[in-house]
């Protein structure tokens, strides 16, 4: 099936879940990454169970934070 | 790495940071990596610090997603983020280093410790053998 990852079309196997996609995309420090599918944010605990579908648009967003203390 | 930012974009960051005092302010930067190795910031995003404190910031993921889509629509690459330090120098704190997890990003820090002499620096942070290594980047306001 074809999905769109960070704006780029990719061919992946049917039934791929978000956790596997994170592995395939070699996402750095995935514990700090938020995933959206079709602009909906996916709970970190649901990465294994969330099955992607044809045409899904996925974004990986690094948590952006910090502070002076 | 050498990074350029326009005077206008620098002033946008400065204005946003001043308006948000005493809280930290934050946003994203986007642009291009040029063939000569220079990183050119072409657009800055002034976003909301959802922590609303003077000592911490978190960018709202919804704002971040909107900004990423805007960058893509305008042919820009995400280059990193910026935030202000209202009361401390322009260098990454331990918390900044802990949360700097994108080795491709430039992290810009604006110090307003002396409000008459704001200081903006850029840093690269990567993890080497489990330790965060910080390198100051050359930031030029053009």
Nearest Cα of chain B lies from the Cα of A43 at a distance, in angstroms, of 13
Nearest CA in chain A to B110: A68
Q: What's the pTM value of the predicted model, to 2 decimals?
A: 0.89
Give the CATH number for residue A57: 3.10.20.30
Cβ of B101 and A59 within 8 Å?
A: no
State whether residue A20 is helix, strand or coil.
Answer: helix
Nearest CA in chain B to A7: B72
Considering only CA atoms, which of B15, B46, B17 is closest in space to residue B30? B46
State whether residue B55 is helix, strand or coil.
Answer: coil
Evaluate whether residue A67 is within a structural domain.
Answer: no
Domain enclosing residue A48, as ranges: 2-62
- Burial of A31 (C-beta count, 10 Å sphere; 0-12/13-18/19+): exposed
Both tokens of A7, joined, read 């704006």
CA distance B51 to B59: 8
> How many structural domains comprise chain A?
1
Contacts of A36 in chain B (CB under 8 A): 61, 65
Tens digit of pLDDT per residue, chain B (142 long)?
899 999 999 999 999 999 999 999 999 999 999 999 999 999 999 999 999 999 899 999 999 999 999 999 999 999 999 999 999 999 999 999 999 988 899 999 999 999 899 999 999 999 899 899 999 999 999 9
Cβ of B68 and A61 within 8 Å?
A: yes
Looking at domain B2-141, its CATH superfamily turns out to be Cytidine Deaminase, domain 2 (3.40.140.10)
Model ipTM over 0.90: no
């Amino acid at each position: 099936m074809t999905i769109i990852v960070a704006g780029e079309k990719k061919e992946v196997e049917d039934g791929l879940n978000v956790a596997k996609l994170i592995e395939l995309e070699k996402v750095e420090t995935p514990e700090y990454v938020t995933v959206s599918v079709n602009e909906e944010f996916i709970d970190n605990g649901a990465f294994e169970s969330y099955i992607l579908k044809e045409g899904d648009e996925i974004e990986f967003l690094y948590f952006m934070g910090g502070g002076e203390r | 790495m050498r990074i350029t930012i326009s005077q206008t974009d620098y002033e946008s960051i400065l204005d946003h940071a001043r308006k948000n005092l005493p809280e930290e302010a934050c946003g994203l930067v986007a642009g291009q990596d040029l063939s000569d190795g220079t990183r050119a910031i072409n657009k800055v995003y002034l976003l909301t610090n959802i922590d609303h404190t003077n000592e911490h910031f978190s960018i709202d993921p919804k704002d971040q997603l909107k900004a990423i889509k805007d960058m893509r629509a305008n042919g820009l690459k995400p280059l990193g983020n910026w935030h202000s330090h209202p009361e401390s120098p322009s260098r990454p704190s331990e918390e900044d280093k802990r949360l700097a997890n994108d080795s491709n990003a430039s992290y810009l820090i604006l110090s307003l410790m002396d409000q008459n002499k704001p200081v903006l620096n850029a840093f690269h942070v990567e993890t080497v053998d489990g330790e965060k290594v910080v390198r100051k980047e050359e930031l030029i306001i053009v």
